[in-house]
Amino acid sequence: MGARNEYFPPDLLAPEPLTVTCERRVRFEEVDGLGMVWHGRYPSYLEDGRIAFGDAYGLTYQSFMVNNTVAPIVKMHIDYRRVLRFDEMVRIETSLHWSDAARLNFSYVIYNHEDRQAATGYTVQLMTEPDGTMLLVVPEWLESFRRKWRSGGWGS
């Protein structure tokens, strides 16, 4: 079962979200004068989650480049729930939610060292050509990934 999803409406016909978890330590450069992670650092935590997801499922930055596809983030939202502090180990849970459109819908849950939610959020990425032309049809290489997902080839 995928991560709790408070951002994307459930689709009973869609496969379960694909989820990956990674860990990282809060670095000194990420905290403010009060010793807590500055809110502007959280997007890099989301990127850490997307990179871990790409490594696990073959959706790496390199795979996009090889396939002449770009996936810029067009929407990002973060809900801050608890403070993170310097040297704390955090866990980032990243889930890709099904979409029939040429887009990637990721949700995130960041857990603190006590395994309590510190932040949740989502990003939406649209598929474009390298010149910025929006793709209205899912590229074949990504459609192949989706067929494997839908058939249960990635597990659940």
Question: Strand ranges (DSSP E) for 61-126?
Answer: 73-80, 89-97, 103-111, 117-126
Give the H/E segment covering residue 148: helix 140-150
Per-residue pLDDT, 1? 40
Model confidence over 15-68: pLDDT tens digits?
999 999 999 999 999 999 999 999 999 999 999 999 999 999 999 999 999 999
Of residues 152 and 130, which shows the higher confidence score?
Answer: 130
pLDDT on residue 155: 60
Contacts by 29-38, CB closer than 8 A, 24 or more apart: 30/86, 31/85, 31/86, 35/85, 35/86, 36/83, 36/84, 36/85, 37/83, 37/84, 37/85
Q: What is the pTM of this model?
A: 0.93
Q: Is the pLDDT of residue 3 over 60?
A: no
Q: What burial class does residue 66 get, using C-beta atoms within 10 Å of its C-beta: 0-12 exposed, 13-18 middle, 19+ buried?
A: exposed
Domains of the chain by start residue, with CATH: 18-146 (3.10.129.10)
**Rg, Å, the chain Cα set:** 16
pLDDT tens for 64-110 read 999 999 999 999 999 999 999 999 999 999 999 999 999 999 999 99
